[in-house]
Amino acid sequence: MARFSKRQYQQHVLAAMGVYTALITLAWPLVRITHSVPLKVLLAVATAMPVVYVIAQLVRLIRASDELERFTHLVALSSATAVVCALSLIGGFLSVAGVVKLDGSILIWVYPAMALCYGVVHAWVRRRYGVAMWCEEVSARQYLLISVFGIGLIALALLCPHWLGDQQRGALYGVGVVFIVFGIVLAAVYHYRRKYRDE
């Protein structure tokens, strides 16, 4: 049976991020105007589900990895856990001491903080072992689709100004720019990778 590849992982993650973008833009704003607690719970859980799916796909990728890949994941995840735990402990004590005011919404930043630390350390460890960041599983079509998706989000915000609220339109612009930049970065990596290929 074929191994779950990095390309498949990226496709699953991109699809999940597309669903997440749709939910955060179109469904999440409803949480502020509804008074129904069950509906608030449903919206909150539904919005988080694509991110939970991404985490599950990372677990799947790690399980399908070979020994060197698992080692790089281990170092990156351990470092991310250590950094986020240290920051949350320090933040927690500062909050209890009354130095900073933190409410429960800070929890929403735990995953992004871990993902950022993991990404940085993972890239460093892979370079240390001579592994190209995106290996040969990035394709030109992928970065093109990512940028097109970003352009589509911005076009939606521009063409439907009356249908969307200000917050939704701002979210579409922001996420659209992120996808376009991400697509351009992938394009640069793709061209760099073609020169870096061994053999």
Partner 1 sequence: MNNHVRELRGERGWSQAELAQKLDVSRQTVNAVETGKYDPSLPLAFKLARLFGVPIEMIFVPGEE
Of 66-74, 93-101, 139-147, 174-182: span binding partner 1 (CB under 8 A): 66-74
Among 49, 89, 106, 136, binds partner 1 (CB under 8 A): 136
Q: Which of 144, 156, 129 is nearest to 14 (CA)?
A: 144
Among 67, 105, 161, 162, binds partner 1 (CB under 8 A): 67
- Given CA atoms 114, 117, 121, 122 in this order, what sign does their dihedral have? positive
Please report whether residue 198 would count as binding partner 1 according to CB under 8 A.
yes
List, in order, residues 6 or more apart from 43 with CB less than 8 Å away. 27, 28, 30, 31, 34
Among 68, 86, 89, 188, binds partner 1 (CB under 8 A): 68
Please report whether residue 63 would count as binding partner 1 according to CB under 8 A.
no
Residues 78-97 that bind partner 1 (CB under 8 A): none
Please report whether residue 75 would count as binding partner 1 according to CB under 8 A.
no
Please report whether residue 166 would count as binding partner 1 according to CB under 8 A.
no
Among 15, 31, 115, 132, binds partner 1 (CB under 8 A): 132
DSSP 150-174: HHHHHHHHHH-TTTS-HHHHHHHHH
Of 8-16, 32-40, 81-89, 127-135: span binding partner 1 (CB under 8 A): 127-135
Compute CA 135 distance to the chain's CA centroid, rounded to the nearest angstrom: 19
Q: Which of 72, 162, 157, 170 is nearest to 121 (CA)?
A: 72
CB 21 within 8 A of CB 153: yes
Of 65-73, 81-89, 106-114, 165-173: span binding partner 1 (CB under 8 A): 65-73
List, in order, residues 6 or more apart from 9 with CB less than 8 Å away. 57, 58, 60, 61
Please report whether residue 135 would count as binding partner 1 according to CB under 8 A.
yes
Q: Which of 126, 5, 154, 144 is nearest to 69 (CA)?
A: 126
Please report whether residue 199 would count as binding partner 1 according to CB under 8 A.
yes
Among 93, 109, 124, 129, binds partner 1 (CB under 8 A): 129
Binding positions for partner 1, rule: CB under 8 A: 65-69, 128-132, 135-136, 198-199
